Amino acid sequence: MAEEIISSIKTIHGFEARTKMVKKYDDFLQQAHTEGNKKSPNYGVLFCVQYFCVHAGIALCFWQGFRMFQSGEIANAGEVFT
């Protein structure tokens, strides 16, 4: 909606529809804010679990790589990164 208003700013200014467009845009923002408040906890839990799994996997890889380096299975620590 904001893109449409900006692209036709001459027409809106000519018909003095600024206040009507601002009110309509504010209504859209209020609806988006309400929807965002509903979805926020769900996204928080979802991303928390997702990032935990990624970081836990990386930590496990480095832990196993360090153990392999310590026991002599791999020659240098650079192979852990690859």
Whether 2 has a pLDDT exceeding 90, the answer reads no
pLDDT digits (tens, 9 = 90+) for 25-78: 899 999 999 998 998 999 989 999 999 999 999 999 989 988 998 898 888 877
Burial class (CB in 10 A: 0-12, 13-18, 19+), 74: middle
Q: How far apart are CA 3 and CA 57, in angstroms?
A: 43
CA dist., res. 67 & res. 60, Å (int): 11
For residue 17, what is the enclosing H or E element?
none
